[in-house]
């Protein structure tokens, strides 16, 4: 009798594992006036520079970020436990300008390259991790604004999680076009 109960338990557990759905990766969403930044609760379109959208399992709409630095920080916070199924960032190589980063020029964050340590401030005035879909575009940005090119995984935790004196950084950030 015990063997039958164990066999049935194993069968039910195995069947339960097969029923788990794997979340399909959604396409990026067009940036609209309804997009509000996750941390600042401000309209995303009111900020300059690259934006990010993170798609979470079980949620129909993405979580928006007014700065790439904030989106990367979100992914590194242990208290954020909802499964991330996609991260898209503005491809600044395709952006009309720094002040108009574009509504549909998204690139998968895992495929993008990022410039960190440049003189360019992000949408909230802090140092930015500037994303590009092309390494050539990132190299051109570095030539004008300084910094180094890294992958998403190579952005240091300290770069996105450490406090920043935005007033002091703004004094050294000339802006970019």
Q: What is the 3-state secondary structure (H, E, C) of the chain?
A: CHHHHHHHHHHHHHHHHHCCCCCCCCCCCCCCCCCEECCCCCEHHHCCCCCEEEEECCCCCCEEECCHHHHHHHHHCCCCCCCEEEEEEECCCCCCCCCCCCCCCEEECCCCEEEECCCCECCCCCECCEEECCHHHHHHHHHHHCCEEECHHHCCHHHHHCCCCHHHHHHHCCCCC
Contact criterion met (CB below 8 Å) for 139 and 129 = no
Whether residue 116 has pLDDT greater than 80: yes
Contact criterion met (CB below 8 Å) for 148 and 117 = yes
Please give the pLDDT value at position 18: 44
Whether residue 136 has pLDDT greater than 50: yes
According to the CATH classification, is domain 26-172 in 3.40.50.300? no
For 156-166, the pLDDT digits (tens) are 999 999 887 76
Please give the pLDDT value at position 96: 94
Please give the pLDDT value at position 65: 93
Please give the pLDDT value at position 128: 95
Q: Point out the least confidently predicted range of 64-68, 80-84, 167-171.
A: 167-171
| Model confidence, pTM | 0.81
- Pairwise pLDDT comparison (167 vs 54), residue with the higher score: 54
Please give the pLDDT value at position 125: 83
- Average pLDDT over the chain, rounded to whole? 85
Region label for 78, one of left (φ > 0), alpha (ψ between -120 and 50) or beta (otherwise): alpha
Q: Band of the pLDDT at 47, cuts 50, 70, 90?
A: confident
Contact criterion met (CB below 8 Å) for 78 and 26 = no
Q: How many CB atoms lie within 10 A of CB 19?
A: 6
Whether residue 10 has pLDDT greater than 60: no
Please give the pLDDT value at position 80: 87
Q: Is 149 exposed, middle or buried (0-12, 13-18, 19+ CB in 10 A)?
A: middle
Whether residue 149 has pLDDT greater than 60: yes
Please give the pLDDT value at position 4: 44
Please give the pLDDT value at position 168: 63
Q: Point out the least confidently predicted range of 34-43, 56-65, 92-101.
A: 34-43
């Amino acid at each position: 009798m015990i063997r039958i109960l164990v066999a049935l338990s194993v069968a039910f557990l195995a069947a339960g594992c097969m029923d788990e759905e794997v979340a399909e990766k959604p396409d990026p969403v067009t940036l609209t006036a309804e997009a509000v930044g996750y941390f600042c609760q401000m309209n995303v379109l009111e900020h300059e520079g690259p934006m990010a959208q993170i798609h979470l399992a079980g949620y129909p709409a993405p979580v928006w970020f007014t700065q790439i630095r904030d989106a990367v920080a979100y992914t590194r916070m242990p208290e954020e436990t909802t499964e991330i199924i996609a991260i898209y960032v503005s491809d600044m190589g395709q952006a009309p300008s720094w002040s108009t980063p574009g509504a549909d020029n998204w690139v998968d964050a895992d495929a993008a390259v990022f410039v960190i340590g440049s003189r360019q401030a992000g949408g909230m005035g802090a140092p930015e991790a500037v994303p590009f879909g092309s390494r050539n575009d990132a190299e051109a940005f570095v030539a004008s604004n300084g910094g180094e090119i890294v992958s998403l995984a190579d952005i240091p935790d300290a770069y996105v999680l450490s406090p920043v004196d935005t007033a002091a950084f703004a004094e050294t950030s000339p802006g970019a076009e």
